[in-house]
A and B are shown apart, each in its own frame.
Chain A
Amino acid sequence: MKRLLPLAVALLATGLRLIATEGYDLQTILTGNSATSSRHAQWKPGDGLTLEVSGLDFMPDGKLAVAIRKGEVWLLDGVLGPPDQVRYALFASGLHEPLGLLRDGDSLLVTQRTEVTRLRDTNGDGVADEYLNAAHGWNISGAYHGYAYGPKRDGQGNLWVALNLDMGERTNNQAAWRGWSGIMGPGSSFLPMAAGTRSPCGLGANAAGDMFCVDQQGTWIPSTPIYHLRKGAFFLNPEGIASQERPESPLKLSAPVPNKVPYPEALRTLPEMVPPAVWLPYHKMGRSGTDLAVCPEGGKFGPFAGQFFVGEFTDAKVSRVFMEKIDGEYQGAAFPFLSGFASGVVRLLFAPDGSLLVGMSSRGWSSLGTRAYGLQRVRWNGIVPFAIQEMRALPDGFELVFTSGVDATTARTVAAYSLKSYTYLYSSAYGSAEIDARPLPITRVTVSADRRRVRLQVAGLRAHYVHELRADGVRSANGTPLAEPDAYYTLNRIPRSAE
């Protein structure tokens, strides 16, 4: 590890440049480089530990377990201390591209391509000696994109696993459960629950224990969606729907899958289709969502407890998502949060001290990061950034909750805000442009007595449209503009008036 040290220290200086939100500092624990670009056919790692992070969880003794893409699990001792004091120990090896890791009692569950494996150290020497099959039953064709993600635990204790669609040579999405997600069942079985995902790279439960999943733009998927996973749901991509004919399927589509129709219309024609709780508009909110982490209560990471933080690969970003329940269904708003990470963000984990660990790897695709892989950590430095903390839907508009008091003069000005709404074309093509975009007139603005809340009354709300807000005219009480004036609210349901 000694050789890596000067590298990590040198990076620290540049790595501190975290863009967009004040109040957060970035620390580099370890990064490495490749001599070739991330998509190069002969990609090779740099010296030292190839920390292409693909799974993160803490052990009871405070060590951080890190799965890496080449098939190992490392235990990092001291990750919450000075980076140059972190000690690295190999715990397990020979795994097949593990893309998720979860501590479960005295063992670690890692999801390899073929199975979820329970790793245990039974003789206490610090190295796993038991590699037991904990869940399997999905097809592996050998197509490179046949990834498997998870497990993550929901509020009922279910352990969720998500399966990528096959892509490339040897693709077989007719075979079992490609593009589905499900839970680990008895006898190391896989119980399918929901269909219609494409690259469901990241799973995470919210504070209420509901399980969510972030997918990526691609065929049938206009932009990065966040789904609320539940039994019998069909989301967006039908390429793996053939598995609905299997006896274990909890789902059977009652209508043909439409193609080339506006998304709200697709929802009307296909009753089993469940809309994403939140869309992250393409480019504006990065490109390929990778992971979800929910900020714990306690205020150690600033004023965002209970909100989702969403990892993103291409632009090496972390976004923020607020959700609320309307008529029993989740929906909410996405906000830009942090960018400037060293490599493609793949895994996020909140540490016991409230800091956010960011595991990265750019291999295989492209990222705005300048390093090939590594682990960084974001800490809140106590400064509350001036931001839109929450954006809530109202029957006639939206309520914005700010992290601190607004300047009443600018905040009550209608021209301080602009709002438009749009949807997507649901089709087999790769991604979609924003369609049917329309500006929304803001008819009235009301600022609360404590100046933390602003109510926007809006004409022409449209259900199942993304409502894009820009609040670049608002100033804080001491005159500063919002570092991130944009918000994207996925208005699946317009709340009904109380009366």
Chain B
Amino acid sequence: MRRGLGFGIAALLSVVGAHAEPWVAGFERFHAAAPDAAGGRLLYNELGCINCHGGDTGLPPRRGPDLTTVTTRARAAWLQAAIADPARQRSGTTMPDLLTDHDAAAAAAVVHYLGTLARKNPAPPKKIAHLNAELGKIVYHTKGCVACHAPQANYTPPEGRPAAQEFSYGPATFPALAEKYVVTTLAAFIRDPLTARPDGRMPRIEMEDQEALDISAYLLGIAGSDGEGAPKLPPFTASLALAQRGQEIFNAARCAACHPSPSTPAVPLVPLQRPTGGCIDETPTAGLPRYALSSTQRAALRAYLADRTAPVTPAQTVQGTLAALNCLACHERDGQGGPDSARKSYFLGDHNLGDTGRFPPPLTGIGRKLQPEWLAQTLAGKNRERPYLKTQMPLYGAAVTQLPALLAASDARHETTLPAGDVAAGRKLLGTLGGVGCITCHPWGERPSLGIHALDLANLGRRLQPGWLRDYLINPAAHRPGTLMPSFWPEGKAANREILGGDTDRQIASIFAFARDGQGLPEGFPATSAREFELIPGSRPIVLRTFMADVGTHAILVGFPAGVHLAYDGRDCRPALTWKGRFFDAYGTWFSRFAPFEKPLGESVVAWTAPSAAGGTRKFEGYRLDAAGVPTFLFSVGGVPVAEHFEPGENGGLRRTLAWNLESMRSLPLAHPRGLTVQESPASTPGKLEFIYTWP
């Protein structure tokens, strides 16, 4: 390890002490400059004030982490220090200081109490085969972590590292990670933060287990590949006597208000008497939770508390929710948010698509853009429409349950009703044969687009609302600034006058109708593979070896452009299978580590019976390709060389010739494919046999 990467993570931003006040990105970015009641509402929710004092912010509940498993995730020593002095252990924490004088003994007792709540870890971490901090660094900086957390100085995005002043809000800081976690528990948390923190403030980015391990290795500074050698979490055994005292402290400090669990009783609310004083005082009375609030945070809280019952519109609740969950770190809505100038550098994607290939879409009008079900599915992580974005939309769990309805209510407006669409016209419009050619840039399901690879349109009928689609198609750039998409209906006038008489609304309705109800593909896709690694013989035959069921481990496949194909057994020197139609999907042969036994892709597969063993041992000698690329198989039978050749024959059949020296061998044991018509060619002679096989 000495010769390892030798990095230590160092944030680009100097953050130590920079966030003494609790970190709420949405407040810092949108309300700190001019503290208002909306900012105060956000803080009242995000600092957990609401959990003790009640009320209705309309925002997703904010909770602390699940404490019933915390001693199986974090080191006890770290927990003790974090309970004694939360802000010291993690700058910017929203957890208030609750123990008098940072009482270490009291904190230790609470940890013992938490230890008694610990459930047995149902799925012990798997053995770690491998760690790769360098890969973890890339994933951390490109998958979306740095929307909230600090980019590190040892990673340089392609555009270069941003300057500190370009950050419009500070990062969610890390505690001293190596003091809190071990690689497995940190990886488990990164892989699924919603289990430990169901409130969704640390959302879950879908990733492979290995990616989470690699990020952990990176953040913990583990160089080298040795996962087994990484430190393990020291087991924690709770002392029951200490736990009892800890429980008293836990209850007195009302911890369960923010950390509710089935094992702890509900904490009664403390109604607020007045809009000032108490916890938000600069020096709160002893016994009250102590927050390191900034003066702007205090001002905002006071503004909100002055009239907590002022009515709130759905649009304001949406804004508050997006700020609370930091959706606005990546998405812009109504001119607010989107990646700030510093973080933009870390959004990578397909440069062929311009900015739309890098940055997540704006959320302006999203409630009338997406169909409600699609929107709900997207928030539930079921759709990933933009595979070209390196940054991945995370999941927020229960925190976004209300959001689709809120967005729908907030964005609703009077929609133009489109006329009935014509499915056939829609198909033509989408295609390139007389249509507007959407498929030039847009894939359709599994079919790649003809040029650049923009958004897939096959799901358009389930994804978009027709009224929004109409507005968008007339002026794409108004809805997606920076898009490369031109308008084919500029100012509402159809560029294509041939289809449906150039009626804009009918054309757009027809595109929608085909996407929703149509069968098949838009016109203009080449007749090519339906599978990414399907081999399609073009001008020459394709020859390749693989493992194939009913052929064996020495299968040599020959695919002919004429659409009749062969699998030859290179061990027993005999044809084994022939089929028609599609040839072969090479994915398993080329790229699967586990070398599956393959099957032909086409139809009408027929098998040969094995030839009799008479004549002597068969030995495979190889094959030669002729000028057209057609192989002639070479083998010997009892030492006599034989050349066997196949090519497409009459009526979609297969022609087979076998040639050998008749003086060395009088006859050759031979079998024919079962179920095909076998015809010996008039040209066939002893020593040069020729057969034509045709499908019935």
Contact = CB atoms under 8 A, between A and B. Distances in A.
Say if A and B assemble together. yes
Interface of A: 10, 19-20, 36-37, 39-41, 43-45, 50, 69-71, 93-97, 112-115, 117-118, 123, 128-133, 136, 140-144, 168-169, 188, 283, 287, 314-315, 336, 339, 363-370, 484
A390 B210 CA distance: 39
A362 to B, nearest CB: 9
A136 B620 contact: yes
A315 B211 CA distance: 17
B573 to A, nearest CB: 11
Nearest to A472: B2
B591 A366 contact: no
User: Contact size class for B?
Assistant: 35 or more
B88 to A, nearest CB: 36
A368 B544 contact: no
Contacts of A36: 208
A132 B634 contact: yes
Contacts of B556: 94
Closest 5 pairs between A and B when the two form their complex, measured CB to CB: A94-B544, A132-B622, A366-B130, A96-B545, A364-B593
A393 to B, nearest CB: 25
Contacts of B129: 366
A366 B224 contact: no
B229 interface: yes
A115 B621 CA distance: 10
A315 B532 CA distance: 32
Given A70-B591, A112-B545, A283 B224 contact: yes
Contacts of B211: 37
B595 A129 contact: no
Contacts of B122: none
The interface residues of chain A, by DSSP majority, are classed as loop
A484 B3 contact: yes
Given A114-B570, A132-B622, A368-B225, A71 B589 contact: yes
Contacts of A339: 3
B472 interface: no
B623 interface: yes
Given A132-B622, A144-B594, 12 more contacts: A19-B3, A20-B3, A37-B135, A43-B592, A131-B625, A132-B634, A140-B554, A188-B619, A315-B225, A339-B3, A366-B129, A370-B132
Nearest to B209: A37
B591 A45 contact: yes
B590 A71 contact: yes
B597 interface: yes
A143 B594 CA distance: 8
Given A112-B545, A336-B3, A367-B132, A129 B594 contact: no
Contacts of A39: 210, 593
Contact of B542 (A43, A94, A369): A94
Contacts of B532: 44
Nearest to B548: A142
B179 interface: no
B158 interface: yes
B679 interface: no
Contacts of A95: 544-545
B138 interface: yes
Contacts of A115: 620
Nearest to A38: B210
B553 A140 contact: yes
Nearest to B591: A43
B71 interface: no
Contact of A370 (B138, B592, B620, B623): B138
Nearest to A283: B226
A133 B621 contact: yes
A93 B208 CA distance: 33
B144 to A, nearest CB: 16
Contacts of B134: 368-370
A131 B130 contact: no
Nearest to A97: B595
Given A94-B545, A368-B132, A142 B624 contact: no
Contacts of A132: 621-623, 634
Given A314-B225, A336-B3, A96 B130 contact: no
Interface string B200-214: 000000001011000
8 contacts: A19-B5, A44-B591, A71-B590, A129-B626, A130-B625, A287-B225, A336-B3, A366-B210
B148 interface: no
A239 to B, nearest CB: 19
Nearest to A3: B352
A136 B591 CA distance: 24
Contacts of A143: 595
Centre residue among B593, B619, B634 by max chain A CB count within 10 A: B593
Given A130-B624, A283-B226, A314-B225, A142 B597 contact: yes
A117 B554 CA distance: 13
B543 interface: yes
B250 interface: no
A143 B553 CA distance: 10
B625 A283 contact: no
B546 interface: yes
Centre residue among B589, B594, B622, B627 by max chain A CB count within 10 A: B622
B158 A114 contact: no
B622 to A, nearest CB: 4
B579 interface: no
B3 A114 contact: no
Contact of B130 (A20, A128, A314, A336): A314
A363 B590 CA distance: 11
Contacts of B359: none
Centre residue among B129, B211, B553 by max chain A CB count within 10 A: B553
Nearest to A123: B627
Interface in B503-548: 532, 542-547
A93 B570 contact: no
Interface string B67-105: 000000000000000000000000000000000000000
Nearest to B532: A44
Given A37-B208, A314-B130, A370 B545 contact: no
B544 A131 contact: no
Nearest to A286: B225
A10 B158 contact: yes
